[in-house]
Amino acid sequence: AYTAIISAFYPAVGAFLSFVLLKEKMGKGQILSLLVALCGVMTMGYLSAGSSEIANAPLGLLGAVLAVIGWGSEAVLCAWGMKDDAVDDETALQIRETTSALVYGVLVLPLFGAWHFTLGAIPSMPTLIIALAGLAGTASYLFYYKGIAAIGAARAMALNISYSAWSVVFGLILLGTIPDMASGICCVVIVCGTVLAASNWDELFGRNKTA
């Protein structure tokens, strides 16, 4: 939960990098909406922290900060790469996932001596369920990359953090988990904040005037 609170800042880092590298601009209202949504994510993380124990605070903080930098820069680098017509969103996702798989297989698993465990876990029902979750994740990433290409990295990241609110909704639908009032309020704040941060306010509020 504490990691979720810290890592929620990645859209802010991404928005800054988008401004510096991609020259993407967000209005003051959009930036304020993003900050409100981030506060909602942080509050939800704090509420779920409960009596979480901290075993190694420096290592945990380092991991969370690296996640913020990695997630924040991912969308910006993808948007930069997709500026070239030779790389569309599907190709960018293929490059990303292939690179990720190679790094896991060649570096991460051998580093932790986890290949034996991995091979032993493959022929099991939980692995099949996780594989289905992976397919859902791949679909969501494909839509995410399409969003980056269509509306820019900063706005796509702003919408992406709404997953914390939708997880509560799906938890209610699929698992029957009834959220408390505080979580419900946080969900509304997150969804409204992310929509406002990612939208063109003139179009959203019908302020565009046609000639």
For the residues 72-79, what does the mean pLDDT come to?
86
Position with higher pLDDT, 46 vs 90 = 90
Q: Is the pLDDT of residue 32 over 60?
A: yes
3-state SS class at 207: coil
Q: Cα-flanking dihedrals φ and ψ of residue 210, to 5°?
A: -90, 145
Q: What is the pLDDT of residue 204?
A: 62
Per-residue pLDDT band at 107 (split at 50, 70, 90): very high
C-alpha distances in angstroms, 196 versus 78, 99, 156, 186?
23, 33, 12, 15
For the residues 132-140, what does the mean pLDDT come to?
88
Q: Is the pLDDT of residue 10 over 70?
A: yes
The Cα–Cα gap between 191 and 82 comes to 27
Task: Name, of 15-24, 40-49, 73-82, 94-103, the range with top average pLDDT.
Answer: 94-103
